[in-house]
Amino acid sequence: MHPTVTFLARLAISCAALTPGARATAVPMHEPPLLSSVPAGPEGDLIRLGHKLVTDSAEASPEFAQNGLKCSSCHLDEGRQPWSAPLWAAWAARATEGSFPEVVDACYTSAMGAKKGPGPTSRETVAISAYSRFLAGGLKEGVSHEGRRLKMIPGIKEGTFDSPRADEKRGEAVFVKECVACHGADGAGNDAAPPLWGSRSYTSSSTMVMICCSSAFIKSFMPKGKADLSDQDALDVAAYVASQPRPAKGGDAKGDQDIAAMVKYYTRLAKKFIKQQLYSVQKNYPSLFQVLVNFFGVSPF
Ligand code: HEC
Ligand code: HEC
């Protein structure tokens, strides 16, 4: 597959391209600077705008933040919280390769319900980048620091969509007992907590639908204020939440899973497979390959 296509396919299913997370080390956790230390002037204004876009997304960018979420619904504590995909760590890790703006743009469509993202050079992306760089406060760039991404539940690999260990039925009971009080019986959220599914929640292309990410987030931070679920309960309730309807990417709030995107993805995989087979026929049975080319009248490549 062409590298650009591979890259786009990865972006399409996730908010962030998944790479191995930070290894546990004895390095002390980064403490981002306080917002009150942002200087006056245009650079300071840009940082403050970035903060507003992250924490008050619908107010600051109504044309792009189109559901019931803020960036900080998931990037907790205004993007500061370690193991909640903190923005400072994302900035530090991605600054040298330059992928930060693309990921922000992808998050607008996959997590925030935008039909189309603002683009990697937009006012929104530039301001969120400035805010994230400010939070990073001079952290070494090009490094995946301690506290980046999410803390996976032991035995659950990063990039896992689903797990045989997770039981959606048991998860329903956990949900009723532990989550309904804030997120509501219909998961639709309210003033106290954001929506977990339904037309105002993240799309089926968000990384949050992957069992690895949602179980990690829930285990570390939910129920809010007393995150005390067992690994099993966190996995089960994550599977239950993932089984509920949510919008497809592109703002089409049909409330069903993004079947069209999955069909496209598997068609691409199938095409790649067929192409590989044809290559090996060409290599190992050149005369048979020539017969095929003559028969169809065109080369398959
Ligand atoms: C529904 C929850 C959710 C919302 C809302 C959300 N994100 Fe994310 N975001 C995630 C998850 C989950 C990841 C992947 C974390 C991982 O790979 O470990 C992620 C990844 C990222 C990353 C890359 C992290 C890294 O370390 O490489 C950035 C940057 C980011 N999001 C920015 C944003 C911005 C900006 C917004 C708002 C415009 C936003 N996100 C909204 C859940 C969300
Ligand atoms: C005490 C209230 C409370 C309880 C109980 C609670 N949450 Fe949350 N949850 C929140 C709030 C508030 C946020 C938004 C982030 C923040 O402000 O800390 C959130 C965010 C989330 C998110 C990311 C944003 C989104 O809307 O998807 C998920 C996933 C989540 N909670 C799952 C759960 C699950 C599963 C349970 C039950 C095990 C649960 N929560 C229990 C208050 C709560």
Domain 35-149: CATH superfamily is: Cytochrome c-like domain (1.10.760.10)
pLDDT digits (tens, 9 = 90+) for 126-156: 999 999 999 999 999 999 999 999 999 999 9
Looking at all shown ligands, the one closest to residue 178's CA atom is 2
39, pLDDT greater than 70 = yes
Q: Which atom of ligand 2 is nearest to the CA of 202?
A: 27
Same fold, 35-149 and 151-257: yes
pLDDT digits (tens, 9 = 90+) for 43-74: 999 999 999 999 999 999 999 999 999 999 99
With a 6 Å cutoff on the Cβ, whether 223 touches ligand 2 is: yes
| Count of residues making up the chain | 301
How many helices and strands, by DSSP H and E, does the chain display? 13, 0
CA 119–ligand 1 middle distance (angstroms): 16
pLDDT digits (tens, 9 = 90+) for 229-238: 999 999 999 9
- Give residue limits of the domains in the chain: 35-149, 151-257, 259-296
Are 156 and 215 a contacting pair, CB within 8 Å? yes
With a 6 Å cutoff on the Cβ, whether 95 touches ligand 2 is: no
Determine the residue of 67, 182, 215, 232 to mutate for testing ligand 2's pocket, defined as the one with the most ligand atoms within 8 A of the Cβ atom: 182
Looking at all shown ligands, the one closest to residue 20's CA atom is 1
Does an H or E element contain 101, and which?
helix 100-110
Instruction: Give the model's pLDDT for residue 268.
Output: 61
Q: What is the mean pLDDT of the chain?
A: 87
With a 6 Å cutoff on the Cβ, whether 93 touches ligand 1 is: yes
What is the second-level CATH architecture of the domain 151-257? Orthogonal Bundle (1.10)
Instruction: Give the model's pLDDT for residue 4.
Output: 44
Determine the residue of 15, 77, 146, 217 to mutate for testing ligand 1's pocket, defined as the one with the most ligand atoms within 8 A of the Cβ atom: 15
Instruction: Give the model's pLDDT for residue 97.
Output: 93
Q: Which tokens go with 21?
A: 């997370």
Q: Which atom of ligand 1 is nearest to the CA of 213?
A: 12
Are 83 and 220 a contacting pair, CB within 8 Å? yes
pTM of the model: 0.83
Determine the residue of 56, 73, 217 to mutate for testing ligand 2's pocket, defined as the one with the most ligand atoms within 8 A of the Cβ atom: 73
CA 21–ligand 2 middle distance (angstroms): 23
Q: From CA 236, how far away is CA 194, in angstroms rounded? A: 20
Name the band, by pLDDT with cuts 50, 70 and 90, for residue 262. low
